Amino acid sequence: MQGSKEEALKAVQDALIKIDETGVLKACDEALNSGVSPLEIIEQGLGAAMVTIGELFDKGRLYLPQVMVAADIMKKAVGKLEDKIPQDQKPEKLGTVVIGTVEGDVHDIGKGIVATMLKVNGFEVYDVGRDTPIKNFVEKAKEVNADIVGASALMTTTMVGQKEVVEQLKEAGLKCKTMIGGAAPTQRWAEKIGADVYAENATEAVEKAKQLVAK
């Protein structure tokens, strides 16, 4: 079974890396039929493939339009898989997260993957989008009583927006935890601006979000 499970997940990954929508949906169905859980397919199949796609994009082997199509395929597949999760297996709500890409930065793919992974792991997620004014993070966090606010920045020139998110949440008297990520930030930057955690990728973001709400 372990071998067939790994093969089924690899088929999902391969289809998404090839940006083959029909192939992805077929591979997801075949994985389900072979006993792989919907959550495993989302995380270890689709999520793992998007990490590889991001790496290929960074190396110049894929272009932005291709990455955006892949992200759309992943959303469709996740939507179908969520419907297949039995009610008693759906994770309990762990907390509420507001997430977005800071003002001046139009990159959306990585943040979208993190939002999806948080959602399927039991978080209520409010995605405030890309190129988002700092006040929108604060207003949404107030409105939904967020436990965590996540701010993404892909460029060194927009990292200052993450600092402003952290500062303005504190100025507003909100007690929510803060998480930063993206291509440009580092753990050192998180410590410098007073963010609670830095996450390098979607899997790490989920684990660290769970740790934040458990405290």
Element (H, E) at 150: strand 148-152
Distance CA 105, CA 28 (A): 33
- The bridge status of strand 177-181 relative to strand 197-198 is parallel
Q: What is the pLDDT of residue 197?
A: 97
Amino acid present at 203: T
Q: What is the pTM of this model?
A: 0.79
Question: What does the pLDDT look like over 176-212, one tens digit per residue?
Answer: 999 999 988 999 999 999 999 999 888 899 999 999 9
Distance CA 215, CA 206 (A): 15
Distance CA 213, CA 3 (A): 35
Question: What does the pLDDT look like over 122-149, one tens digit per residue?
Answer: 899 999 999 999 999 999 999 999 999 9
Domains and CATH numbers, the chain: 2-89 (1.10.1240.10), 95-214 (3.40.50.280)
Distance CA 130, CA 30 (A): 35
Tokens 């272009």 belong to residue: 63
